[in-house]
Amino acid sequence: PAQGRIVYAPSGRRDEMADADAKVVDAEAKVAEPTVDEIKAAKRKEIEEKIAAMKLTQIKDEEQKTAYFGDHPGITCDGCGVVPMVGYRYRCKTCANHDVCEMCWDAWGDGKGTMVNGLGKQTLSSNPADHSFKLYKDKSFKPLVKGGNAPKVKAAAKTKPNDPCTCGSEKKFKKCCGAGGAA
């Protein structure tokens, strides 16, 4: 920087050039360090983005779960032996034919609890690492939640006669594009 340099210039300009170099160094130092408020704002923005992503994931999970809540005729829970399974059905992705009901899934606790074999028709591993369950439904599934199979689609809002026209003319819809019964 400017302190250790010798500036060769006419004697009147030597100080001006050193001052200019010092100002450039000061400006670079100010730009390089973010203020406390900028750090807080960046952290706040990061947290808000994470919260928004979590809320979106939660909404998607809830919509998905309504699509899987129902009656599973002919399916027996390998944990407690209940027939037919009503509610959520969880199927192991690694086992050949391993289905459990919602109560057994809760008791298993995503690998932290115990996996019972109440049915006893097949040999099941009690090691949590051997199982990978996910929500499942097949062709015989009958939903118990109305509209659980289809995603919700909002109908487009109908333009009312006294609303501003959609063409951007700033007239009422009934006096512009809605005149003559076009709506």
For residue 103, pLDDT over 70 is answered with: yes
Query: CA 2 to CA 107: how far, in whole Å?
Result: 71
Region 58-66: mean pLDDT is 77
Check residue 183 and give its pLDDT. Answer: 43
Residue 44 has a pLDDT of 95
- For residue 180, give Cα distances in angstroms to 72, 125, 150, 160, 161: 54, 73, 37, 14, 12
Q: What is the pLDDT of residue 24?
A: 58
Burial class (CB in 10 A: 0-12, 13-18, 19+), 146: exposed
Query: Which tops the pLDDT comparison, 123 or 5?
Result: 123
Question: In the structure encoding, which two tokens stand for residue 125, read together?
Answer: 């591993």
The structure's pTM equals 0.46
Stretch 105-120: mean pLDDT, rounded?
74
Q: Which residue would you say has higher pLDDT here, 63 or 40?
A: 40
Rounded to whole angstroms, the Cα distance separating 57 from 49 reads: 12
pLDDT above 50: residue 16: yes
Please write the tens of the pLDDT for every residue from 122-172.
Answer: 777 777 777 888 888 888 888 877 654 444 556 667 888 888 888 888 888
What is the spatial distance between Cα 46 and Cα 54, in angstroms, rounded to a whole number? Answer: 12
Average pLDDT of the segment spanning 4-28: 57
Give the span between the Cα atoms of 99 and 54, in whole angstroms. 29
Q: Residue 129: what pLDDT? A: 74
Whole-number Å distance between alpha carbons of 100 and 77: 5
Band the pLDDT of 51: cuts 50, 70, 90. Answer: very high
Question: Which range has the worst mean pLDDT, 5-19, 65-79, 166-180?
Answer: 5-19
Q: What is the mean pLDDT of residues 86-101?
A: 86
